[in-house]
Each structure stands twice: as structure tokens, then as C-alpha cells.
Amino acid sequence: MKEIKRILVPIDFSEASNVLAPYAKYFAQKLDAKLTILYVVRSLDYFGGFYVPHTSIKNFEEEILRGAEKRMENFIVDHFDEFPVETKILIGDAATEILKFAEEGDFDLIIMGTHGRKGLDKVIFGSVAERVVKGACCPVLTINPYRKR
């Protein structure tokens, strides 16, 4: 078994991310591993069917990135204050970018939450966690943040 020294934690700033943070911190401490928190901003290419002037798209993307950076700063202060973490913000399809970043970063474990979507919601929104589990280059620990203990 490969030693776990680098852990990737994709988040989406939802309530699920707040539940996930203590688990990520716990595993990083127990395994003496480095923790990287990742947020993926949905690419505006996803909305390609709409006409929007290029300069508007560029400005909007820059604002989205600034907003994501601020949210990441707040998330780290709230959940990882005085705990060493790296952060990264990417643009694109969440599952695709998580898989690519995990492989390129040579991560040993991915810890992520599930949303538990079913039926039409799952068909429309897909399952990022499911796609990551199926395509990951390393083990993936999924946590259902909505499950009562």
C-alpha cells in the first residue's frame, strides 16, 4: 500500500463543505499528510449557447474568480485557522478538473463530500463525486454530510 502524504479536498462552499472540513483535518493530522483544498469554478463555456460579448465574459470570469478567492480565504479562516493547507482555484468542469489536478499533483487520497442527489436532480446535475470515484488515480473517501449519526 502506498503511503498517504498528499490529500486533495475538493469543496463547493456548500454546507457539505463545512461538514467535510473536520474530516479532512483529522485525516491530515493522523497521516501527517499535506492538505490541498480545491475549488472549481464552472467554466462559462458551459453556457455556450448564449450570445454574450467576449469582453463581458472576460470581466465576469474575473469577478467570479475574485469572489471564489475571497470565499476560499474565509473558508480557510473558518475551518483551518493555524492549520497548514494549500489552496487552489480552477475553472472548468468540476469532475474533470478534480481528476486532472489529482493526477498532475500526484495526490495519494481524495476526500470529498456527496450531495446525495437522486432522480431528475442527478440526471440534470450529474454526480461529481461519482465521476471522481470512477476516474481517480488514487483512492477516494466520500463522506455523506447529510447522514445523521
Starting at the earlier edge strand, list the strands of the sheet with 85-91. Answer: 85-91, 34-41, 6-11, 109-113, 140-143
Domain ranges, ordered by start, for the chain: 6-143
Q: How high is the pLDDT of residue 35?
A: 98
* Chain segment 42-77, per-residue pLDDT in tens: 876 655 556 656 666 677 778 889 999 999 999 999
What is the tens place of the pLDDT at every residue in 92-106?
999 999 999 999 999
Q: Output the pLDDT for position 118.
A: 56
Q: What is the pLDDT of residue 4?
A: 96
Which pLDDT band, with edges at 50, 70 and 90, does 142 fall under? Answer: very high
pLDDT value of position 137: 94
d(CA 133, CA 42): 20
pLDDT, tens digit, 9 for 90 and up, residues 74-93? 999 999 998 999 999 999 99
Taking residues 6-23, what's their average pLDDT?
A: 94
Residue 40 scores a pLDDT above 60: yes
Q: What percent of the chain has pLDDT over 70?
A: 82
Q: Rounded CA gap, 31 and 114, in Å?
A: 23
Instruction: Provide the 10 A C-beta neighbour count for residue 69.
Output: 13
Q: Does domain 6-143 have CATH number 3.40.50.620?
A: yes
Under the banding of pLDDT at 50, 70 and 90, the label for residue 120 is low
Average pLDDT over residues 27-49: 85
Q: Residue 116 class from Cβ within 10 Å (0-12 exposed, 13-18 middle, 19+ buried)?
A: middle
